Structure 1
Amino acid sequence: MTKTGGICINQLKLNYTHDMEKAMYSAHGVCFADYSRKLDVRMKVERRREREYLQSQHILTNIEKKLHY
């Protein structure tokens, strides 16, 4: 755990494969080491994932509406 400006930040201890590393870099432009070590990077990635998830749910809802009419 590191402490910066009175805030404690836990470093994630993640097990990951080479393919996971490539996918993370390809999708988000960061490596797992930075993702696990830097809170700002982690938050940026997670916000983007959340936004993409919500967009996919919106698309799915629209498709389901069209199928039921």
Structure 2
Amino acid sequence: MMENKRRDGFIISDNGLDLTYTSDMEKAMHQAHGIGYAEYASDIDKIIEVEQKRELSHQKNHKMVAELNKQVHK
């Protein structure tokens, strides 16, 4: 039986993540988050932590771009 865990808007099944990644992606994951894709894919808490950081970064960048666009179009 497949179990789903829901935390803070994420649903992750217990069958793990099937990820395909390059060595450059692995290096970037280590630099940005201090873990590799194998650890990321096998630990639900790590997935949630990384994805929350990514979402926060995306929101901050989106706000910054919107502010710059407002300044440019004054």
Deviation at 1:43, TM superposition (A): 0.3
TM-score under structure 1 normalisation?
0.86
**What residue is the counterpart of 1:32 in the other structure?**
37
**What residue is the counterpart of 2:72 in the other structure?**
67
Runs ≥4 in structure 1, deviation > 6 angstroms?
none
> d(CA) in 2 for partners of 1:25 and 1:55?
22
Q: Name the Cα RMSD after superposition.
A: 2.1
TM-score under structure 2 normalisation?
0.80
Write the letter of the residue equivalent to 2:48. Answer: M
Percent identity between the two aligned chains: 36
**What residue is the counterpart of 1:11 in the other structure?**
16
- Unmatched 5+ stretches in structure 1: none
Number of aligned residue pairs: give it.
67
Q: Which of 39, 43, 46 pairs up with 2:51? A: 46
